[in-house]
Structure 1
């Protein structure tokens, strides 16, 4: 299957855009309900994953609050979840001090009996 992009000077019609995305997604067996807006949601979620400000994401996509919160971002309270997991609620810091602790050998032997072999 080969998808032919339109010439640079030619405007791409909605139908052609939808059809080419549909072909690209159906090839590996993906059947999305949204084709032409699939990148909008994924780019908004990716920006949210790296702690981008929701207002900045909304402005970049030119969305109103209802659209971005209802269609493109997850409904999970990201800052609250980060704080409960032991992360800071700002920036891209993913270090948890407790991950540097070594569990006692007795616990390791109970969990992994073959660890000494």
Structure 2
């Protein structure tokens, strides 16, 4: 068996990149005016969700303060929002007291009919 080398990498034009992202988003019905930079904002928010600080996120994306605060992150104070949502404000630990409640089996069966199988 002969292994073929990978095809020569080619530079992808901006318009081809934008068009392919647009098709991928429109297929499930997602509308967005941000096509080529859509992953920038989501990756910055995901990093924020795992408690990376703004300086770390800014350095990772090579953004200046104006760009990261104006375009990719919300202006909400993350620690305050986490504490108001009953999340701890330090580290990567998210504890919800209500998550340990025992739900009635009848409710679980209504939500997930195959739960007893």
Q: Same fold (TM over 0.5)?
A: yes
Q: CA deviation at 1:82?
A: 2.0
Tell me the equivalent position of 2:71: 71
Tell me the equivalent position of 2:18: 18
Aligned equivalents of 1:12, 1:99: Cα separation in 2: 46
**1:55 to 2:55 alignment:** yes
Aligned equivalents of 2:67, 2:99: Cα separation in 1: 38
Q: CA deviation at 1:8?
A: 4.8
Q: CA deviation at 1:31?
A: 1.6
Tell me the equivalent position of 2:44: 44
Tell me the equivalent position of 2:3: none
Q: CA deviation at 1:77?
A: 0.8
Q: CA deviation at 1:87?
A: 3.1
Aligned equivalents of 1:41, 1:8: Cα separation in 2: 31
Aligned equivalents of 1:97, 1:30: Cα separation in 2: 34
Aligned equivalents of 1:38, 1:16: Cα separation in 2: 15
Aligned residues: 96
Tell me the equivalent position of 1:85: 85
Runs in 1 of length 4+ with deviation above 4 angstroms? Answer: 96-102
CA RMSD of aligned residues (A): 2.0
With normalisation by structure 1, the TM-score equals: 0.72
Tell me the equivalent position of 1:35: 35
Structure 2: unaligned runs, 5 residues or longer: 1-6, 103-117
